[in-house]
Structure 1
Amino acid sequence: MNRIVKNYEERRNEILDAAESLFYSKGFEACTVNDILKTVGIAKGTFYHYFPSKEAAMDGVIARNVDKIIDRVQATIEKAAGDPNEKLMNAFLAMRVDDPAAHHMLEDMHQPANALLHQKSLKQLIQSLSPILADVVQEGIDQKIWRCSHPLQCMQIFLAAALSLTDEGIFEMDADSQTLIMIALIGTLEKMLGVPENEFLKQYSAHWATE
């Protein structure tokens, strides 16, 4: 029987696929390295060649998922060349989760057993997305469209509020409450950037109506 040899990235992603599925289904704390080994069909030494610990595998899972969101956000920003308003709107819309499989994953992440995974994912999203959005804000400042003294810090504050308040695993809200939160968040963003009241809200509402 021939031994199957896989390249580094292929094997690493195979381990991450198994780890991600097990973390969400069993919970990070309950999942063991042995569970991952059995699922992938590898020896313990192979696992530790790629990851020094189960925690490192979790970081790899988070980084991979955040990278997908970052790629999506950056791709939509690039489509709106020269228009900071359109770039910012595209970036926020690209953060939405529309895939049913991803929704199921989020439900599993919200389980109490995955609190650490959930917390670290939010932290990584804020750290990774803030500089990207701050660059867009700086474009608007340079073009004298917006006014903002601290673009990076303002985007960190906005993302921390937005990602937390719209996270159903943290706050349970009915549809009306969710709508009011979104209106308040957009109003906060307008104030951060010195935009006239309801200017962003009109733009985003018009765009969402066509979705």
Structure 2
Amino acid sequence: MARNKYPEITENRIIDTSTKLFMSKGYENTTIQDITNELGDLSKGAIYHHFKSKEEIMDAVNKRIIEQGLGSLKEIVNDSALSGIDKLREAFLLLITSTQKEASNRKIPPLQKNPQLLALYMRDTLGVASDILTDIVEECIKDGTICIAQPHELSQMILLFFNVWINPWIYSWTSEELNNIIVFMKDLLDTMGVPIFSEEIIQSINVLYSLS
């Protein structure tokens, strides 16, 4: 086999193709042969040269998805024109908008039907993203826009709310159930001294559910 001068290009092609297949067919229903067929010009051996197993490909896919989201979050953190509370609201809108983009793709199956993706998604919900969100919460505390004693736990609660509780790929709520959840969370956070639910955020959540 000729030596690949640009292995990162081949690896990115494998990740791109695998992402599409994992999301459309599900991880368990996708084989290395499926990935090979979709790529067209690579053999199984070539794929195994870059990734030892399908599980390793899945880890690379998940890492790519996380890095894409983190890049946008970091831009919000570094925006000096925004106050702490504005950064927090922008972070919320980013989480919702990201899910809206997925919702417009009708080929993506619910995460309950893709248990490997769901497991990785749940694992990473409280990973690096919560550390970045904690930085924003701590900025809110410093500039006095919110008042909370446990910024890290607050960031984790927020991520669980947006990425899990109201994620239509995990739970399907009726309009009444969704409204009750939003009212509950808004009242809870307002009482805690974290008034972050804006009309724009509430409207964006409702738009998200109309797409799912």
| TM category, shorter | 0.7 to 0.9
SS of 1:95's equivalent in the other structure is: helix
Q: Name the CA shift for 1:209/1:26 in 2 (closer, same or farther; >3 Å).
A: closer
**Percent same amino acid at aligned positions?**
25
Task: Give the Cα separation in 2 of the matches to 1:133 and 1:164.
Answer: 16
TM-superposed CA distance for 1:30, in Å, is 1.6
Partner of 2:196: 200
Q: Name which of structure 1's ranges 33-42 and 177-186 shifts more when overlaid on structure 2.
A: 177-186
Q: What does residue range 73-152 of structure 1 map to in structure 2 within 5 Å?
A: 73-79=73-79, 81=81, 83-97=83-97, 102-105=102-105, 108-110=108-110, 112-152=112-152
Q: Name the CA shift for 1:158/1:105 in 2 (closer, same or farther; >3 Å).
A: same
Q: Name the CA shift for 1:150/1:49 in 2 (closer, same or farther; >3 Å).
A: farther
Q: Name the CA shift for 1:113/1:140 in 2 (closer, same or farther; >3 Å).
A: closer
For the 8 Å contact 1:77–1:90, the answer to whether it is kept is no
SS of 1:31's equivalent in the other structure is: coil
Task: Give the Cα separation in 2 of the matches to 1:70 and 1:183.
Answer: 28
Task: Give the Cα separation in 2 of the matches to 1:8 and 1:80.
Answer: 38
Unaligned runs of 5+ in 1: none
Partner of 2:10: 11
Q: Name the CA shift for 1:135/1:191 in 2 (closer, same or farther; >3 Å).
A: farther
Bigger relative contact order (CA 8 A; separation at least 6): 2
For the 8 Å contact 1:80–1:86, the answer to whether it is kept is no
Q: Give the aligned residue type for 2:108.
A: D
Q: Name the CA shift for 1:207/1:62 in 2 (closer, same or farther; >3 Å).
A: closer
Q: Give the aligned residue type for 2:61.
A: V
Task: Give the Cα separation in 2 of the matches to 1:51 and 1:90.
Answer: 37
Q: Give the aligned residue type for 1:66.
A: I
Q: Name the CA shift for 1:173/1:148 in 2 (closer, same or farther; >3 Å).
A: same
For the 8 Å contact 2:130–2:156, the answer to whether it is kept is yes
Task: Give the Cα separation in 2 of the matches to 1:100 and 1:205.
Answer: 17
Task: Give the Cα separation in 2 of the matches to 1:114 and 1:206.
Answer: 31
For the 8 Å contact 2:95–2:162, the answer to whether it is kept is no
| Post-superposition CA distance 1:145-198 (Å, at most 9, x none) | 333232112211331233211111332112333233223223333344x24xxx
Partner of 2:45: 45
For the 8 Å contact 1:164–1:170, the answer to whether it is kept is yes
Partner of 1:34: 33
Q: Name the CA shift for 1:106/1:125 in 2 (closer, same or farther; >3 Å).
A: farther
Q: Name the CA shift for 1:155/1:191 in 2 (closer, same or farther; >3 Å).
A: farther
CA RMSD of aligned residues (A): 3.0
SS of 2:81's equivalent in the other structure is: coil
Partner of 1:64: 64
SS of 1:148's equivalent in the other structure is: coil
For the 8 Å contact 1:126–1:159, the answer to whether it is kept is yes
TM-score by length of structure 1 reads 0.80
TM-superposed CA distance for 1:4, in Å, is 11
TM-superposed CA distance for 1:123, in Å, is 2.4
Question: Would you say how many aligned residue pairs link Structure 1 and Structure 2?
Answer: 203
